[in-house]
């Protein structure tokens, strides 16, 4: 499911797994995710909602200072298919501006809410210097399917070279509480398999 615009894509290595966390920053859950990643000495990429970032700028800077990547997840996480074209473009641009204002640089990557891409939004991201990045495997850590045991089974299928979708932001339906129950052990299992965990680059 990995996509990019104009034939470009992140440089992915077959002996690495690329963790991505969507819908943050979340003052309750993002720090807990950061602690688990720090304990495992790994780095990930956080696709942040601009409005949430504006509400927790120090947390955004903490994520960046720890060496994690920061991507644009639009300004308000509105469903791409429910907006006029001009509004959809503005959601992408305003999200990028919000993050750049906090960390001092434009986000290198962009991911549309709900994984629903629109060409006008991809073009807006390109104009802001961001590459569209989707994912290869989702933990489905949300809703009734987002239980720790089910998340663990999905993560066990991850292979090298894959981009993995997780959620650090609660955002109504997400289950970071369940995901965090299995994340430490899964990261340990990746290390045992000889797989590194890297941010997108």
| Active-site annotation, residues | 22, 167
Q: Which residues contact 127 (CB under 8 A, 6 or more apart)?
A: 93
For residues 80-112, one letter each, b for 16 or more C-beta atoms within 10 angstroms of the residue's C-beta and e for the rest, the string is beebeeeebbbbbbbbbbbbbebbeeebbbbbb
Q: How far apart are CA 29 and CA 175, in angstroms?
A: 10
77: alpha, beta or left? (left if phi > 0; alpha if psi -120 to 50)? left
Of 163, 138, 71, nearest to 111 by C-alpha is 71
């Amino acid at each position: 499911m990995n996509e990019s615009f104009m034939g470009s894509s992140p440089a992915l290595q077959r002996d690495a797994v690329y963790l991505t966390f969507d819908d943050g920053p979340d003052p309750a859950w993002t720090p807990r995710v950061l602690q688990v990643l720090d304990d495992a000495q790994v780095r990930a990429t956080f696709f942040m909602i601009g409005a949430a970032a504006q509400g927790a700028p120090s947390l955004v800077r903490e994520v960046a200072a720890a060496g994690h990547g920061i991507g644009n997840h639009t300004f308000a996480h509105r469903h791409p298919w429910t907006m006029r074209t001009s509004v959809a473009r503005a959601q992408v641009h305003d999200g990028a501006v919000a993050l750049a204002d906090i960390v001092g640089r434009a986000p290198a990557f962009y991911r549309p809410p709900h994984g629903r891409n629109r060409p006008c939004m991809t073009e807006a991201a390109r104009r802001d210097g961001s590459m569209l990045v989707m994912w290869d495997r989702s933990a489905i850590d949300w809703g009734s399917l987002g239980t720790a045991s089910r998340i663990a089974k999905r993560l066990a299928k991850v292979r090298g070279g894959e981009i993995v979708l997780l959620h650090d932001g609660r955002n109504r339906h997400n289950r970071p509480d369940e995901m965090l129950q299995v994340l430490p052990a899964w990261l340990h299992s990746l290390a045992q398999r000889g797989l590194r965990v890297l941010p997108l680059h």
